[in-house]
Amino acid sequence: MNISTINEEEIMNKLTKIFKDRFLIDLSEYTNNDLSKDLLSDTYKLTPGSLIYLFFDVEKEFNISIPEEDIVAGKFNSINNIFCIIKNQLEI
């Protein structure tokens, strides 16, 4: 698949696979509201170290560089925010 032709559904499918493979978390079991919750919350129970793995998994899977300003601004904190970062970097 050409990464430039990826759509929103494919982004979410790839994110879901990352969470299942890396953290054994099945995002299909979560509500849309849950996707906005902080990844360090009791909903997901990830650790700060887990976010580092997630950061590199996302960059590798989508062949993107996550902007430092997004990290500093605290935007790499929920599924929905990470989805938006990916979407913005892929410019779709």
Q: What is the mean pLDDT of each run of 10 residues along the chain (92 residues)?
A: 72 98 97 97 97 98 97 97 97 78
Supply the pLDDT for residue 39: 98
| Predicted model pTM | 0.91
pLDDT of residue 4: 52
Residue 8 is predicted with a pLDDT of: 94
Predicted local distance difference test score (pLDDT) of residue 6:
86
Does domain 3-90 match CATH 2.60.40.1930? Answer: no
For tokens 């032709």, name the residue.
5
CB 2 within 8 A of CB 63: no
Cα–Cα distance list, 42 to 1, 16, 65 (Å) = 35, 19, 28
Supply the pLDDT for residue 1: 43
HSE (side-chain half, CA atoms, 13 Å) at 26: 2
